[in-house]
Amino acid sequence: MQRIVMSCALLLLAAGNVGCVERRMTIRTNVDHVGGAMVIVNNQEVGQTPLSTGFTYYADREIRLVKDGYETATFIQPMPAPPWDSLLVEFFVENLWPFTMRDEREYLYEMKPQRQVTTEEMVNRAQRVRSEAHLGAEIIPLPRSEGPASRVAF
The set of residues, in sequence order, having a beta carbon less than 8 Å from that of 81 and lying 6+ positions away, is 58
Judge whether residue 127 has pLDDT over 70: yes
Taking residue 27's Cβ as centre, other Cβ atoms within 10 Å add up to 26
What gap in Å lies between CA 80 and CA 84, rounded to an integer?
12
- Measured CA to CA in angstroms, residue 93 lies from 13, 16, 17, 22, 124 at distances of 17, 14, 13, 11, 59
Q: What is the pLDDT of residue 18?
A: 54
Per DSSP, the three-state class of 88 is: helix
Q: Please report the pLDDT score of residue 153 as a whole number.
A: 52
DSSP-derived secondary structure letter, 116: P
What CATH code would you report for 20-85+104-109?
2.60.40
Which whole number is the average pLDDT over 109-138? Answer: 84
CB 20 within 8 A of CB 102: no
Strand (E) or helix (H) holding 39: strand 38-41
Q: Could you tell me which residues come within 8 angstroms of residue 59 by beta carbon, excluding any fewer than 6 positions away?
A: 79
Chain segment 7-34, per-residue pLDDT in tens: 655 555 555 555 577 889 999 999 988 8
The half-sphere exposure of 81 on its side-chain side, counting CA atoms within 13 A, is 12
Integer Cα distance of 45 and 38 in angstroms: 8
Which one has a higher pLDDT value, 41 or 115? 41
Residue 82 binned pLDDT confidence (cut-offs 50, 70, 90): confident
What is the percent of the chain where pLDDT is above 70?
72
Between 2 and 126, the more confident residue is: 126
All structural domains of the chain with their residue ranges: 20-85+104-109
What is the C-alpha separation between 128 and 44, in angstroms, rounded?
A: 34
